[in-house]
Amino acid sequence: MTGAAPGIPAATVVVMRERSDGPPELLMVERAKGMTFAGGALVFPGGRVDPGDHALAALRDGDADDDAHRIAAIRETIEEVGIAIGLDPEPAELAGLRARLHAGEPFGALLHEAGAALAPEALVPFARWLPNFVEHAPRVFDTRFYLALAPEGAEPVADGGESVHSFWASARDVLAMADAGTARIIYPTRRNLERLALFASFADAVADARSHPVRTITPWVEKRADGDYLCIAGDLGYPVTSQPFASAMRG
């Protein structure tokens, strides 16, 4: 395992909806099996940070790089599942805006036409992962994770391209699916689901996120008596910090 390589800037968002009879549900997306990265795996909505995201961030006050990542997470969630987070107000014709995004129209111009403004402060920083599995995957992503509360009544619709299925489920339920072999999750997703399974509400998740520093997480291989383990640091809020290397899905 080599040192951390520069990663492709990316952003993803853990969209949560509250339940009165149990823990929050998370918005999960199943990636198309033919995708080069994490094909067939369950992930959170997200993707690369585009030049247009940086252009929109440059129009705002504050941390332009972080805003660009938040804007990418907002845009990608609309594109992948048709749900608007981080917009005020939500566009009345969201389906049409989504279709025009897929057609390549600029996000900023579409928001202006719809009378909607970006509200990236609605996204709460949660984690940052830079897995350096160069020998296993053709791309290395430097991904910032955010938390966001789902709009009332929001129901995801997969785009049928990169994402083929989307649904709500608790973190524990998704982990159970993976353990039963009915779903695939990559190493960072598993670690994040284990952490998210600790929370009884969105507010709990936000409080935890704000109580831990967001440091870049690059897992490393540790040789132990019973074999190699893929490990992360123990002070970032994750209840499980290692897994046998052979069993870890890495992309």
| CATH number for 211 | 3.90.79.10
pLDDT level of residue 137 (50, 70, 90 thresholds)? low
Number of structural domains the chain divides into: 1
The reply to whether 250 falls in a domain is no
Does 106 reside within a domain?
yes
pLDDT surpasses 50 at 2 = no
The verdict on residue 237 lying in a domain is no
Q: What is the pLDDT of residues 86-105, one digit of tens each?
A: 999 999 999 999 999 999 99
Answer yes or no: is 145 within a domain: yes
In a domain, 24, yes or no: yes
> Does 229 fall in a domain?
no
Mean pLDDT, residues 187-206? 97
What is the overall mean pLDDT for the chain? 93
Model confidence band, residue 1 (pLDDT cutoffs 50, 70, 90): very low
Residue 235 in domain: no
Provide the domain limits for residue 78. 8-215
Is 149 within the bounds of a domain? yes
SS (H, E, C) the chain: CCCCCCCEEEEEEEEEEEECCEEEEEEEEEECCCCCCCCCCEECCEEECCHHHHHHHCCCCCCHHHHHHHHHHHHHHHHHHCCCCCEECCCCCHHHHHHHHHCCCCHHHHHHHHCCEECHHHCEEEEEECCCCCCCCCCCEEEEEEEEECCCCCCCCCCCCCEEEEEEEEHHHHHHHHHHCCCCCCHHHHHHHHHHCCCCCHHHHHHHHHHCCCCEECCEEEEECCEEEEECCCCCCCCCCEEEHHHCCCC
Query: Is residue 83's pLDDT more than 70?
Result: yes
> Could you tell me the pTM of the whole model?
0.94
